[in-house]
Homo-oligomer: A and B are copies of this chain.
Amino acid sequence: MTYKNGIEALILAAVRDEPLHGYAISKRIRLDSGGVLKFGEGQLYPALHRLEEGGMLTAEWLPQEGKPPRKLYAITEAGNSELERHVGQWKQFADSVGQALTGTKEVAHV
């Protein structure tokens, strides 16, 4: 009953407005959620590669003088649709859990 593909959805949401590199994505998610949501690099990078392979993200290397190069990820058309789909699924899931936990019917309001 766990919500699947949560990482993918969160990554897509993180790069929705602007391209980011992996390290920045993880920080963004951690900060945006007030520290509640966080996952290690062992989950982040494989997920990033899956999304790139699946055509949801495009990647571009940005070399930097002296510093390690960055891999900038940008969302694609397909990625945007996928994100929308994920958001819809999440809403349904969250409503169902909330309802089952509280017994109250929640109003969708996003």
Contacts and interface: CB of A to CB of B under 8 A. Distances in A.
Interface of A: 1-3, 6-7, 9-10, 13-14, 16-17, 29, 32-34, 36-39, 43, 86-87, 90-94, 96-104, 106-107, 109-110
25 contacts: A1-B6, A1-B37, A1-B38, A1-B39, A2-B6, A10-B97, A13-B102, A13-B103, A14-B100, A16-B103, A32-B100, A33-B99, A33-B100, A34-B96, A37-B93, A37-B96, A90-B97, A90-B101, A94-B94, A94-B97, A94-B98, A98-B110, A104-B110, A106-B110, A107-B109
Where chain A touches its partner, the secondary structure class is helix
Nearest to A29: B100
